Amino acid sequence: MARVTQIMPADAPGGLPEKAARLVYWLFGAFTRVFSIVLLLAAWEILARSGTFTHFQLPAFSEVVERIGSDAWSGDLWINTALTLYRALTAFAICAVFGVIIGMAMSRSAIANWFFDPIISVGFPMPKIAFLPVVILWLGVYDVSKITIIVIDAIFPVIAATVIAIQGVERELIWSARNMGANNRELLTQIVLPAASPQIMTGLQVALPLSLIVAVVAEMLMGGYGLGGAMMTASRFANSTGVFAGIVEIAVVGYCLVKVMALIRRRLLIWHQESNEPTTA
């Protein structure tokens, strides 16, 4: 959602003190950013109360919020959220490390590119969740298998983004650094990686929500604790309120992860020109 540019006038309108005027502008900007979400939730509540759908098909949003509050009070929400985040973030960390390493190797070594390029070309477009039965057969249905299937799915965007980013570094930068006496390690750490970091961060921003998505799907299919497992448990008992509560919880967790990743990107790339440009993050 596009960020609303807020420009404070030279004189506060209506004679309001400057702090009050800033608060009014901030509240207005915040409202414009969440207006569509508020409208959607209001439509959900009205539609559920109108009788168009049965309670089983569409429980009211207020009832879903009440269920989320009950889960939070009992501690189930925090346990399930912590387990899902543990699996997703552990797998994401593995993808970030090994995805960047493999991408760097492919872009700088003909042998590594010869070995990994066919695997990436075949594996990237295919639905990696198809490997789930094999992972279950080999590793069971516990955390190791869930983290493994997340890594299999989320590492490809990181590898592809790293390869494209490093190959896209301007040759003039590399030639200039070599002419100034930079060795291979200095060239990589001080020239290539900083120049490629915006695109590498883009690959990581794709992999993070993908890790959460696959974590939830794996929990749904394998069972056990976690946000996905809790949703499937509610579904088995025909508890539609619990199912919709899980959807809202996953949406909130995903939104927070994306926002945190965008903040990390801005902090790490504060030197880059994109930090001074309008952003939708």
Kindly tell me if the per-residue pLDDT of 10 is higher than 50.
no
Q: How many CB atoms lie within 10 A of CB 37?
A: 12
CA angle in degrees (0–180, nearest 5) for 248-133-249:
10
Percentage of the chain beyond pLDDT 70 is: 89
**Encoding tokens for residue 18?**
């400057």
List, for residues 40-99, the tens digit of each pLDDT value: 888 888 988 888 888 888 899 999 999 999 999 999 999 999 999 999 999 999 999 999
If one compares 43 and 16, the residue with the highest pLDDT of the two is 43
If one compares 10 and 182, the residue with the highest pLDDT of the two is 182
CA pseudo-torsion sign 21, 27, 30, 32: negative
Cβ–Cβ under 8 Å, residues 243 and 193: no
Q: Tell me the average pLDDT of the chain.
A: 84
Predicted pLDDT of residue 219: 92
Q: Kindly indicate the confidence band of residue 244, based on its pLDDT and cuts at 50, 70 and 90.
A: very high
List, for residues 248-279, the tens digit of each pLDDT value: 999 999 999 999 999 998 888 887 666 555 45
270, amino acid identity: I
Kindly tell me if the per-residue pLDDT of 212 is higher than 70.
yes
Q: What are the sequence ranges of the domains in the chain?
A: 13-49, 61-276
- The closest alpha carbon to 64, from 226, 233, 246, belongs to 246
Cβ–Cβ under 8 Å, residues 208 and 262: no
Kindly tell me if the per-residue pLDDT of 23 is higher than 80.
no
Chain CA centroid to CA 143, Å: 20
Predicted pLDDT of residue 181: 73
1 contact partners, CB below 8 Å, separation of at least 6? 33, 36, 280
269 contact partners, CB below 8 Å, separation of at least 6? 197, 198, 201, 275
What 3-state DSSP class applies to 225? Answer: coil
List, for residues 145-180, the tens digit of each pLDDT value: 999 999 999 999 999 999 999 888 777 777 777 777
Mean pLDDT of 15-24: 69
C-alpha–C-alpha distance, residues 69 and 63, integer Å: 10
Helix axes 227-236, 193-222, angle to 10 degrees: 30
C-alpha–C-alpha distance, residues 147 and 127, integer Å: 16
Predicted pLDDT of residue 196: 85
- Angstrom CA distances, 175 to 78, 163, 278, stand at 53, 19, 32
Does domain 61-276 match CATH 1.10.3720.10? yes
Which residue is listed with tokens 């009832």?
63
Q: Kindly indicate the confidence band of residue 281, based on its pLDDT and cuts at 50, 70 and 90.
A: very low
Predicted pLDDT of residue 259: 92
Mean pLDDT of 119-128: 88
Mean pLDDT of 193-204: 88
